[in-house]
Amino acid sequence: MEAKAITRYLRISPRKLRLVIDTIRRKPVSDALSILENLKKKGARLVAKTLKSAHANAKVKKMDESRLYVREIKADAGPSLKRYMSRSMGRADVILKRMAHLTVVLGEREIAVSKSIAEPKEEKAKGFKLFKKEKKKAMAGAAK
């Protein structure tokens, strides 16, 4: 089962939007939303809005929220607004103001996404801190 949300005619270029969506592809929805909150890009705000919409669609379809992840996310080119800027000697340059269409598809993993993935890293970090303290003690003892 999958839940889908499409936002069309976003006033941002697809290239700039792809920088943001590459960071959340294949991630659990909760992790993806927290990543987007911390990004300082306009595209992050737009992607978060579409992701929340897809999440709401998943709730309506009664999908298990603990197993949701970003199965597919893509930014396609929309129409371009053509503007002209005058240049010297009577010339004009075309400025393209690009638009994007954003598609987010959420899927369900076979097993629930839990925070246990992050726990070993924390334990490893704690072990490293303890190692550093023991090393300092040993160095202090050797110096005496």
Same structural domain, 66 and 40: yes
Are residue 136 and residue 119 in the same domain, yes or no? yes
Q: Which residues contact 70 (CB under 8 A, 6 or more apart)?
A: 24, 25, 26, 27, 28, 29, 32, 51, 104, 105, 106
β-pair partners for 70: 106
Three-class secondary structure of residue 77 per DSSP = strand
Token pair recorded at residue 119: 């726990």
CB 51 within 8 A of CB 36: yes
* Number of separate domains in the chain: 2
Residues 86 and 121 in one domain: no
Using alpha carbons, select from 56, 103, 96 the residue that is nearest to residue 79.
Answer: 96
Q: Quick one: 107 and 125 in the same domain?
A: no
Say if residue 121 is exposed, middle or buried (CB neighbours under 10 Å; 0-12, 13-18, 19+): exposed
pLDDT tens-place values along the chain, 144 residues long:
899 999 999 999 999 999 999 999 999 999 999 999 999 999 999 999 999 999 999 999 999 999 999 999 999 999 999 999 999 999 999 999 999 999 999 999 988 765 544 445 555 455 555 556 666 666 676 665
Q: Which residue has the tokens 């006033």?
A: 11
109 and 133: one domain?
no
Instruction: Say yes or no: 53 and 106 in one domain.
Output: yes
Same domain for 84 and 94? Answer: yes
**Domain of residue 73, residue span:** 2-113
Inter-residue contact 17 to 25 (CB < 8 Å): no
